[in-house]
Structure 1
Amino acid sequence: MDVRNLPAPMKRVVHLGTRSYGRLTAPGRMTPSFLICGGQRCGTTSLYRALAGHPVVLKAVLHKGVHYFDTNYQRGLAWYRAHFPMQRSAEKIGERYGVTPQTFESSPYYMYHPQAAARIARDLPQARLVVLVRDPVERAYSQHHHEVARGYETERDFGAALALEPARLHRQEERLADDPDYYSFGHQHHAYRARGEYARYLSVMAQHVGRERIHVVESERFFTDPEPVYDEVCEFLGLPSYLERPAFERHNARPRQSDMDPALRRELTDHYLPHDEALAKWLGRPPVWRQ
């Protein structure tokens, strides 16, 4: 049965029943050995699908993104483990390929939530983190369109939404850091400019999990030449890349939004310059959108 094709009310019932069963069987379930943590609108879904197609990778049971370490942490570790395959499924695959199977999920808000990295370090002390980055100007514009389309943003003008961002995010990061039960809609959905300041989020993650456990991927490289990027990710995760690769879709390396106001584009490009220079220290060279 393909849950995706069910009506929404029936889908909720199926998900509830699956999670309830999952909680009961949590001790016999896998836990993720790696996570795709972000960034938002940087191609995380494409990379998720590519890795989910690896022969020795088992994906999360219901959703690609569980959002445990950001907005669902109060539900507990048994709830989280309920989302992943049974150990016996992994054992069968391991016997077939002679490689230890892995499972994972992809929740792009993990990169940005102030408490997520510390929670990951505590609950998944061996997990590796994959982070995608993209031209931050295009990323911000794409996020705004995405939030408008989903009904999470009422300000349809991108420039106006950017102007509202400081007020919407005022002290939200501090409150999220101080109160484990606090939730901020604005912080999750309206941080257009802030989300592209990649290096500062990577720095926080590295403080908690260690820089050696973080792998940064430029989505422009993945979209235009996916095979070597996929092999690099597999090597980082300890996955054999010699097994069959998935079929990759290729995209334009730098899709530019021609309807963005040129003055606003210049302002954002200038704003991100020091952040891109800091990101270059992670990549070992300037990011591709600065070359």
Structure 2
Amino acid sequence: MIIVAMFGIKPRKVERLDFIVAGAQKSGTTALYYFLSKHPEIALPDKQELHFFDDEERFAGEANYNALHGSFHLKRRWSIAGECTPIYVYWKPAIERIWKYDPKIKLLVLLRNPIERAFAHWNMQRFKGREPLDFLEAVKEEKNRMQEALPLQLRRFSYVDRGFYSEQLARLFKFFPREQIKIIKSEEFRDKNRAMLDSVFRFLGVRPLIGGRNKDRNVVPYERAITPEERQCLHDIFSEDIAKVEQMLGWDCSDWRLL
């Protein structure tokens, strides 16, 4: 008892995740991760994106989850543990792998206007020096790049493909009941941040976070603004899928259609 009083209680190890932030990339997941990391009841790994369930080599045989659980080096007691890798909702085998890991796990997904998401994704790749093509050129080249990536999906340059949310939602709903999934419209997470955060913590079963300043995170300088021509092009590409998302989620996505 004296030792416990002097040195405190060593936090228990993570043996099972309670939740995963599964997507979508460039939709506010870094900001959500930040607020989750500030919550005293929540344990998160040392780095934001573990890329465990989208690692094809790791799942070539029987999955060993020790590496997943060993990514947590905790210095305080906690109630629930989770991780945040936003490619999971897009990476086709990942959701089934998560289900096999734990069919009772909770999933958080943020969805952003796919036009804005695609342009932000392209801008990030330009900023990192990976993308030589201008935006519309890259959009037109995406199918060829996807063919070259087969049998895997395209990671870096999947600007348009990641924005077809209806297929990704259908995959989520195939494996998990809706009460285990919280889907947040990114624009509402930005504009109604405190209310959205409170709803996230209720969903996870922990008390609301006290304090914590809201600000944009993981923002890189934009090379330029999206042009009307580019916006119209993506509007035409995504229009049908946006309607499907509205039907699946009961959302009003009229703001995603604005030109």
TM-superposition CA deviations, 1:19-45 (whole Å, max 9, x none): xxxxxxxx9434321111111111100
2:70 is matched by which residue type in structure 1?
A: A
1:159 corresponds to which residue? 136
1:107 corresponds to which residue? 85
1:169 corresponds to which residue? 146
**Contact 2:122–2:135 (CA under 8 A) maintained in structure 1:** yes
Taking only aligned residues, the RMSD between alpha carbons, in angstroms, comes to 2.5
TM-superposition CA deviations, 1:83-132 (whole Å, max 9, x none): 1246x943xx4xxxxxxx11111111111111100100011222111111
Q: Distance in 2 between matches of 1:263 and 1:248?
A: 33
**Contact 2:25–2:87 (CA under 8 A) maintained in structure 1:** yes
2:18 is matched by which residue type in structure 1?
A: S
1:45 corresponds to which residue? 30
Richer in helix (by share):
1
Q: Distance in 2 between matches of 1:112 and 1:214?
A: 15
**Contact 2:16–2:69 (CA under 8 A) maintained in structure 1:** yes
Q: Distance in 1 between matches of 2:44 and 2:148?
A: 36
2:210 corresponds to which residue? 244
Question: Map of 1:161-200 to 2, 5 A cutoff?
Answer: 161-170=138-147, 172=149, 175-176=151-152, 187-200=154-167
Q: TM-score, normalised by structure 2?
A: 0.83
| TM-fit CA distance, 1:215 | 1.1
Question: Map of 1:113-262 to 2, 5 A cutoff?
Answer: 113-155=91-133, 157-170=134-147, 172=149, 175-176=151-152, 187-241=154-208, 243-249=209-215, 259-262=225-228
**Contact 1:198–1:279 (CA under 8 A) maintained in structure 2:** yes
| TM-fit CA distance, 1:285 | 2.4
Q: Distance in 2 between matches of 1:289 and 1:208?
A: 27
| TM-fit CA distance, 1:55 | 1.9
Greater RCO, 1 or 2 (C-alpha within 8 Å, sep 6+): 2
**Contact 2:115–2:231 (CA under 8 A) maintained in structure 1:** yes
Identity of aligned residues (%): 27
1:82 is matched by which residue type in structure 2?
A: G
2:43 is matched by which residue type in structure 1?
A: L
Q: Distance in 1 between matches of 2:148 and 2:92?
A: 12
Q: Distance in 2 between matches of 1:226 and 1:38?
A: 17
| TM-fit CA distance, 1:63 | 0.5
Q: TM-score, normalised by structure 1?
A: 0.74
Seen in structure 2, the aligned counterparts of structure 1 residues 240 and 281 have a Cα distance that, compared at 3 Å, is farther
TM-superposition CA deviations, 1:199-251 (whole Å, max 9, x none): 2111112212233221111111111220111111112221222x524222279
2:3 corresponds to which residue? none
1:12 corresponds to which residue? none
Q: Distance in 2 between matches of 1:233 and 1:147?
A: 30
1:13 corresponds to which residue? none
Count of paired positions: 238
TM-superposition CA deviations, 1:35-82 (whole Å, max 9, x none): 11111111100011011111211111x211100000263473111111
Q: 5+ residue gaps in structure 2?
A: 1-11
2:82 is matched by which residue type in structure 1?
A: F
- 1:286 corresponds, among 240, 252, 256, to 252
**Contact 1:226–1:250 (CA under 8 A) maintained in structure 2:** no
